[in-house]
Every structure is written in structure tokens, then in C-alpha cells.
């Protein structure tokens, strides 16, 4: 049978159609040998190879052979069963990767937003259990500052004077601080701070509006609000806690084969791209 030809497998009643070359990604595996060897577990009937195994789990094995990556749903839990299936088919590199369950399981990510409204200014502090998320938010949030006269400080739109972007405060890798609103400067001048959160292009000065835009941004990124509480009633500090399930960096694992390796694979973890 040519490696370009198609082959049909019936795994526990579920049919899979693929190329012989796909099954031969790992030449020493049972799947690669079944085409030529007389394996009693694989019965050739009506042009299809039948094997009495779990068809649903075999779909993940086929995905691995086609992409050379382990990509599992966020709610997947049958790691040990899938590992046994990989061992049955002689796909030991895949079985070894599945044994590292702690690398493959998604983890819970927590984000906390503290909001404090004081006179004409609003203070924000964002804490996150994942530093990469905080880094991404810091790249989305920009604070602009500029002077305005007393008659126009509360305008919802920035003045025609140029606004200067300010760097966000980063007390640590896990939090960031910024504020919006106005404060007195000299005479009838006020220093105004506007906040912009990408991909929204608006520059907002009202703290409540900024909070709403921040909430929308987090919800669109997969977070959900789980609690609201008052941290300090005298200072009017409100705390909003969000959470989301985030895939681990090792969920997609690329397996590289070197020429002449006879199925011996080297594994490395690759970062999953999820927008952020």
C-alpha cells in the first residue's frame, strides 16, 4: 500500500479516514506497523481496519498524528485513559507527555480590580495571579495628561491642547496602578488625566466610565465577575474579583522528529496563543 493512499479505521464503531503516511509519523508505533504486519488486534474487514478500542479518545490521537501537538479541551479530564490508549497504539512520546498531567491541565486565573473615587479623581489598581495578563493589560491601557482651564475641566472630550501619554505605575509584575480625573494646578488651570483602553479609541476622564470599559474588556477576554466587596468604606474603595480558566503554556506540545530517528521524538512545550 502506497503512503499516499487513504486508509479507513473503525475504532469501536467510529470511522476515521486518513492517509497511511499520517499513521506512519512514528514508524515504530503499532499504528504504523498495522498496515503491513498481521496484528490480531486490527481486523481487516470490508476494506476497513477494525479495532475494539475507545473511538472518542482516538480522535485526540488522530489530531496528535496530524498536527504533532497535544491540544485538549479546557474541560478534558481523561488523561490516564488517553495515556493508556496512546500506550496501546505504541505512541510512547504521546504517552510520556500525557503523564505530565500538571503541565496540560488548565489553571484558574484570578484578577482583582480596586476602584477608589476621591473628589475629582478616581484611582485604579489591578492585581493578577498571572503576570503575562497584567503585562498585556498594561499594553492596552494608556493614560493621557494635559492642562485645561477651569471652565472646561469637566468636559467629556479632551481639549485641543496636545495630550501627553503617561507611563503606568507597576509596583510589581502582578499589579498596575493608574488614575483619571482632574486635580488643581495653577490659577484656574486643572491637570486632567484621560484613560484609553484598546481596542476602544475613546479617551475617558470619568472614573465610572473607565470602570465600565475595563469590565467590558475583561469580560470579552474570558473573565467573569465572581465577587464585589467594599475594602474600605471611609475611602470608598471597592474591590471586584474576576476569574477565568486559562490553558497552561504546555497544553500545546510540539513533537519534533529528526531524520533517521526511527520514531524517537524530542518534545518541547510551545506557548498557546489565545489572543493574550
Q: The C-alpha cell of 260 is what?
A: 533517521
Give the model's confidence band at 267: pLDDT under 50 very low, under 70 low, under 90 confident, else very high.
Answer: very low
Q: The C-alpha cell of 167 is what?
A: 507611563
Range with the lowest mean pLDDT among 18-32, 116-130, 151-165, 188-202? 151-165
Range with the lowest mean pLDDT among 47-56, 141-150, 199-208? 141-150
> Domain residues of the chain, as ranges?
6-105, 110-244
Question: CB count, 10 Å around CB of 199?
Answer: 7
pLDDT in the model for residue 271: 35
Q: The C-alpha cell of 218 is what?
A: 475583561
Give the model's confidence band at 103: pLDDT under 50 very low, under 70 low, under 90 confident, else very high.
Answer: low
Give the model's confidence band at 19: pLDDT under 50 very low, under 70 low, under 90 confident, else very high.
Answer: very high
pLDDT in the model for residue 235: 67
Give the model's confidence band at 45: pLDDT under 50 very low, under 70 low, under 90 confident, else very high.
Answer: confident
Q: The C-alpha cell of 17 is what?
A: 479516514
Range with the lowest mean pLDDT among 55-64, 76-85, 148-157, 169-178? 148-157
Q: Burial level of 95, CB count in 10 A (0-12/13-18/19+)?
A: middle
Q: Burial level of 48, CB count in 10 A (0-12/13-18/19+)?
A: middle
Average pLDDT over residues 159-177: 86
pLDDT in the model for residue 264: 37
More confident residue, 163 or 105: 163
Residue the block writes with cell 530517528? 261
pLDDT at residue 182 tops 80: yes
pLDDT in the model for residue 253: 47
Looking at domain 6-105, what is its CATH homologous superfamily? Potassium Channel Kv1.1; Chain A (3.30.710.10)
With pLDDT > 90 as the criterion, what percentage of the chain qualifies?
Answer: 50
Peptide bond into 199 cis (omega under 30): yes
Amino acid at each position: 500500500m502506497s503512503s499516499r493512499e487513504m486508509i479507513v479505521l473503525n475504532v469501536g464503531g467510529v470511522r476515521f479516514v486518513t492517509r497511511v503516511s499520517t499513521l506512519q509519523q512514528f514508524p515504530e508505533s503499532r499504528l504504523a506497523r498495522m498496515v503491513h504486519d498481521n496484528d490480531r488486534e486490527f481486523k481487516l474487514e470490508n476494506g476497513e481496519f477494525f479495532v475494539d478500542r475507545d473511538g472518542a479518545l482516538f480522535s485526540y490521537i488522530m489530531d496528535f498524528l496530524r498536527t504533532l501537538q497535544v491540544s485538549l479541551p479546557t474541560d478534558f479530564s481523561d488523561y490516564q485513559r488517553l495515556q493508556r490508549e496512546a500506550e496501546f497504539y505504541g505512541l510512547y512520546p504521546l504517552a510520556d507527555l500525557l503523564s505530565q498531567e500538571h503541565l496540560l491541565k488548565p489553571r484558574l486565573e484570578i484578577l482583582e480590580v480596586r476602584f477608589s473615587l476621591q473628589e475629582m479623581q478616581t484611582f485604579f489598581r489591578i492585581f493578577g495571579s498571572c503576570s503575562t495578563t497584567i503585562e498585556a493589560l498594561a499594553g492596552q491601557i494608556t493614560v493621557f495628561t494635559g492642562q485645561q482651564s477651569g471652565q472646561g475641566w469637566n468636559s467629556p472630550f479632551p481639549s485641543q491642547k496636545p495630550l501627553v501619554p503617561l507611563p503606568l505605575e507597576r509596583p510589581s509584575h502582578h499589579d498596575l496602578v493608574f488614575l483619571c480625573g482632574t486635580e488643581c494646578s495653577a490659577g484656574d488651570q486643572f491637570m486632567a488625566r484621560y484613560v484609553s483602553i484598546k481596542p476602544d479609541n475613546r479617551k475617558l476622564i470619568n472614573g465610572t466610565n473607565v470602570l465600565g470599559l475595563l469590565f467590558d474588556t475583561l469580560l470579552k477576554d474570558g473573565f467573569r465577575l465572581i465577587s464585589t466587596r467594599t475594602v474600605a468604606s471611609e475611602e470608598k474603595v471597592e474591590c471586584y474579583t474576576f476569574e477565568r480558566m486559562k490553558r497552561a503554556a504546555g497544553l500545546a506540545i510540539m513533537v519534533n522528529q529528526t531524520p533517521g530517528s526511527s520514531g524517537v521524538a524530542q518534545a518541547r512545550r510551545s506557548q498557546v496563543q489565545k489572543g493574550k
